[in-house]
A = this chain, B = another copy of it.
């Protein structure tokens, strides 16, 4: 196991009816920006629960944060924050609203020349302060409710970029599994595969003798495989919704990634597919991961075999056969929740390959992946394999 630091002070309030606790979680006298998305919270009752819980608080609303939250939209929110002297941000929504709110929180107190630097100059500049954030999660998927990560898209330039800071860790997050009841099938599917691949990015690398992290990762994968179909079959099953929700949170709260190598190549490549073609985040991951597993089957051999054996019970055949079977099982799982894994399924052809490769070259990124050996040529090969 490698040395690590772990720090996650997010207070989780989990279960049905927990939204009512908001009034105790937000400081008295706070001047709140209520940030949300396209309005589904007004249809599913969450908005009403939030407003009822915050009776007596001063609230300014900012709706309209899109999927893959746009920098342009978020900067409008920053103007509202400054105009109304907002001192607490309450994000009510899925990963996009939460990620967007983290950027608002950091940009509102940014002292550099341009808040875009937070994303474009990641690694050179750091977020040293941010407004406090609370969240009410409405879509289990990204884990944003219990981490300090944020991904933002600049619409005009098709840039989808990430930043991370302890300063944007939510003070609290409310997770009421009943929000799952009204989700459309595609959002549940995207959530399941998103959480699944968050685990894979931290697990499917190379072994460093970290059995707790490995087994916790396998626990989350197995739970998603078992509970995902239950959520599909009966959207009103509280237990299935709760287990799916908690699995998605645990998939990316830092815990399973401590002291182990991490990959994230699937996300880096997937982000470009979303930026150029608007393909849903979860879908992009299901396109890219099988390609990476195929190309890097030697690099990732030991962990693919372990994953195949422990998660899919694949024990027959030689190593190559077991790796093939494991990749196939993974693809079948994505397809079982209705997510296609080829670019052609999304109407995208080979023209995407040079566009994505150039993006990495433009940014000066020569290699990615847990061993720093996945080159831009490899990226082209992976996309080529996943064309149709």
B222–A215 CB distance below 8 A: yes
Name the B residues within 8 Å of A227 (CB-CB).
211
Q: Quick one: CB contact mask for A56-83 with B, threshold 8 Å, 1 for yes?
A: 0000000000000000000000000000
Of A14-22, A113-121, A313-321, the segment with at least 4 beta carbons within 8 Å of chain B is A14-22
B14 touches A212 (CB 8 A): no
Task: Report A211 CB to chain B, min CB distance, Å.
Answer: 5
For A13, what are the chain B residues with a Cβ–Cβ distance below 8 Å?
5
Report Cα–Cα, A108/B255, bound state, in Å. Answer: 34
Check if B4 sits within 8 Å of A7, measured CB to CB: no
Closest to A176 in B: B3
User: Which of B11, B209, B259 is close to A7, meaning CB atoms less than 8 Å apart?
Assistant: B11
A12 touches B7 (CB 8 A): yes
- Whether a CB of chain B sits under 8 angstroms from the CB of A157 is no
CB-CB under 8 A from A299, the residues of chain B are: none
Interface size on A, residues (CB 8 A): 40
Residues of B within 8 A of A209 (CB): 239, 243
Residues of chain B within 8 A of A2, CB atoms compared: 15
A176 to B: closest C-beta gap in Å: 9
- Which of chain A's residues 1-58 have a Cβ closer than 8 Å to chain B? 1-18
When chains A and B are docked, how far (Å) is the Cα of A243 from the Cα of B259? 11
CB closest chain-B residue, reference A222: B215
Q: Beyond A209-B243, A211-B223, A219-B219, list 9 extra A-B contacts (CB 8 Å).
A: A1-B14, A3-B15, A3-B18, A7-B9, A7-B12, A8-B9, A211-B222, A215-B223, A216-B216
28 A-B pairs whose Cβ atoms sit less than 8 Å apart in the complex: A1-B14, A1-B243, A3-B14, A3-B15, A3-B16, A3-B18, A4-B14, A5-B11, A5-B13, A6-B11, A7-B10, A7-B11, A7-B12, A8-B9, A9-B9, A14-B258, A209-B243, A210-B243, A211-B243, A212-B250, A215-B215, A215-B218, A215-B219, A215-B222, A216-B216, A218-B219, A242-B259, A255-B255
